[in-house]
Structure 1
Amino acid sequence: MPARAKRVAAVVVGGVLAVGGCSTDEDTSEAEPSSSPVPSRALVVWADGMCEATDGFETLKEESARGIKNVTDPPADAMTPIDIETDSYLSGTSSSLDSLAQGLDGMRKTGITAADRLHDRLAKDVAKAAKEADELSDFMAVYGLSQKEKTDRAKRVAELVEALKMPKPGLSGVVADEPKLAVAHRLAPRCVPPAKPSPSPTPSPSSTGPLPKAEDGKDTAACKDGNCEILVTGPVDLVVGEWDLHVTVQGSTVTITRSDSSGFVSNMSFGDGGGAGFATAGGKETTVDGTAVHKDRAVLKFSTK
């Protein structure tokens, strides 16, 4: 995974998730008192990369656990044939390990012993697992194998992922002991702490009545330029400006899974009257407003500027 130029941060305020780009030098001077240790830009980039790697590490382990279960214990109503599910698990998990390994490999040293030790140990462990997973998932090696042989390979890949452990002390421990790194961590976009979920709001009168008319109806193609207002009545994939989005509405909650060309993936959720925003550093900002969110449908307005 090449070093990404796109950096994204997310915070939730009053039920609305907003995403912004990297802090500027001016922002830093306002946010940090003059007595605070001033980290270099390189240290902020390092913290950002380690936060991304840490999140990717946890996501990898969670997705691998779900994926191997679909291979070894598929649900009775599974729609995907087991051979395709197995091939998908092998290639997807191997690719995720490669991406994580490449991202870690592209990071520079900080000169802080504990920080560099954490990075080096994690990078070494992930690189080793990625190499073994690549060999087990190689297309030419897998092609022509029986389903049992493929399943055995999938189990071995799952064991590699399960065996990966975050070195101790982890990032939070290292950050706590290094003042400059702590400031860099606060400034790094990917290191924004997860927001505490807010209490479920009482449904507004509009959540039980008819939905307002969406300007573009169900025409998701209208969103390609980054601006549209659409009706969502079920899971839908759409392109909004630079982002590929998967949108679902369930339990009066809109959930948006977004990804960009760099491979970055994240989720955001909001209810009636809420919204979200996402942007790339130095790029355009896209916002989405929940004009109306009912139990399993919603009118969403996307705006890009």
Structure 2
Amino acid sequence: MLKTVRTEVRAAGRRSGAALALVTGLALVSGCVPGKDAAPARTDDKPALTTATAPSRALVVWTDTMCATTATLDATRKQSARKIKELAHPTNDPASAHAPASAPDPVPGPPYRPDAGFTADSYLNWASSSVEAVAAGYAGLRPSGIPAADRLRAQLAAGVGEIRPEVTRLSDYFALTSLSPAEKTERAKRVGALLASLKQPRPDLPALADKNPELAAAYHLAPRCVPTPAAGRPVRPADPSPQLPPPADGTDFAACADGKCEVRLTPDPVDIKVGDTKLTAWVKNRVVRLRTAYPTGGSGSMTLGEGGRGTYGGPGGETVTVTVKLLRVDEANVEITASRA
């Protein structure tokens, strides 16, 4: 069906300038998605549409959100499986198994050996945040007007909704403070099993688009939907690392001193003072990495993926929370806040 749409488009492009004007307006709408300023670069994979097949603005946005949310769900399941495997068989460096052999750790000193309880804490925080983000993505979609697509959204939302309460309960921060490392690890494994139980319904969105011209046109325009093959031509996937929008405070890490900031992290480790807490933070292989030394002795470390949230501190004292808003291979926008109970 996508092949048919493209064939009609090429003929229409020679006949009507009005159709091109309509597509330009839609391209501007789809380009408003955060981090997608470079979306027009994909126009060679997304030809113009005739007025007969051009989708509504609302359907393009709907399809784009479905693609992005489902991609996040798929990535969460894969990352969860890897994290649970690392929890069962820890290495000196949680990200080392996925780093190039020639890539040195940017932080000098003795190798870091993660504590099982702390690693489980980090995983549970990340898993809970990821499930919340996916649930919110599906819940925010109104009916598309295409019954098969709406049924698919409902199935995906129901699957996430079914495991969400148990993931939230098992990841409760205050409940975890009283558990042993072994008990935390057991909870992490249970959450991992819940995420692994989620399956992609069939037919998926690309398959539905192949059968519906209007949905196919919207899918073809949506910047976060992976193009499907056409006329035997190999597909050029979307740029996996588009430029991130600038965070509110840029690289002004001193802005975090008052307990609230949004900053950009890179592979170069930086020291960030947040209230009474000092963090060392950087990005490596699509992972935000954090370390801190406590004034009373000891240290803590965590790794976070996109949408992940980690907390230092506890009841009765200062609590510092780091949330990964956006993440690419070698950069991330993170929000850091500090509060007292």
Query: 1:71, 1:151 within 8 Å by CA — same for their partners in 2?
Result: yes
Once the two structures are TM-superposed, the CA of residue 262 in structure 1 deviates from its matched residue by 8.6
| Residue identity opposite 1:169 in structure 2 | P
Once the two structures are TM-superposed, the CA of residue 263 in structure 1 deviates from its matched residue by 2.8
Question: Given the alignment of the two structures, is residue 263 of structure 1 paired with residue 325 of structure 2, yes or no?
Answer: yes
Query: 2:284, 2:330 within 8 Å by CA — same for their partners in 1?
Result: no
Once the two structures are TM-superposed, the CA of residue 175 in structure 1 deviates from its matched residue by 1.1
SS in 1 for 2:38: strand
Matches within 5 A, 1:1-305: 7=33, 19-20=38-39, 31-34=47-50, 36-76=52-92, 79-193=113-227, 195=236, 235-236=267-268, 246=283, 263-267=325-329
Once the two structures are TM-superposed, the CA of residue 149 in structure 1 deviates from its matched residue by 1.1
Once the two structures are TM-superposed, the CA of residue 258 in structure 1 deviates from its matched residue by 9.1
Once the two structures are TM-superposed, the CA of residue 157 in structure 1 deviates from its matched residue by 0.0
SS in 2 for 1:263: strand
Q: 1:157 to 1:265 in 2, by over 3 A?
A: same
Query: 2:55, 2:217 within 8 Å by CA — same for their partners in 1?
Result: yes
Separation in structure 2 between the aligned mates of residue 235 and residue 48 of structure 1, nearest angstrom: 30
Query: 2:209, 2:215 within 8 Å by CA — same for their partners in 1?
Result: yes
Separation in structure 1 between the aligned mates of residue 168 and residue 123 of structure 2, nearest angstrom: 12
Q: 1:46 to 1:133 in 2, by over 3 A?
A: same
Once the two structures are TM-superposed, the CA of residue 236 in structure 1 deviates from its matched residue by 2.2
State percent identity of aligned pairs: 35
Aligned residues: 209
Query: 1:97, 1:130 within 8 Å by CA — same for their partners in 2?
Result: yes
SS in 2 for 1:189: coil
Write the deviation string for residues 97-121 of structure 1: whole angstroms up to 9, x where unpaired.
Answer: 1110011100110121110000000
Q: 1:169 to 1:146 in 2, by over 3 A?
A: same
Q: 1:147 to 1:163 in 2, by over 3 A?
A: same
Structure 2 runs not aligned, ≥5 long: 1-29, 94-111, 228-234, 239-249, 253-265, 271-280, 286-304, 308-322, 332-341
Q: 1:33 to 1:92 in 2, by over 3 A?
A: closer
| Residue identity opposite 1:235 in structure 2 | P
Q: Which has the higher contact order (CA 8 A, sep 6+)?
A: 1
Query: 2:226, 2:237 within 8 Å by CA — same for their partners in 1?
Result: no
Q: 1:163 to 1:67 in 2, by over 3 A?
A: same
TM-score by length of 1: 0.58
Separation in structure 2 between the aligned mates of residue 262 and residue 86 of structure 1, nearest angstrom: 18
**Cα-Cα RMSD:** 3.8
Separation in structure 2 between the aligned mates of residue 172 and residue 237 of structure 1, nearest angstrom: 40
Higher percent of residues as strand:
1
Structure 1 runs not aligned, ≥5 long: 11-17, 198-219, 223-233, 239-243, 249-256, 270-305
Query: 2:284, 2:329 within 8 Å by CA — same for their partners in 1?
Result: no
Separation in structure 2 between the aligned mates of residue 5 and residue 92 of structure 1, nearest angstrom: 29
Which range is displaced more, 44-53 or 125-134? 125-134
Once the two structures are TM-superposed, the CA of residue 80 in structure 1 deviates from its matched residue by 2.4
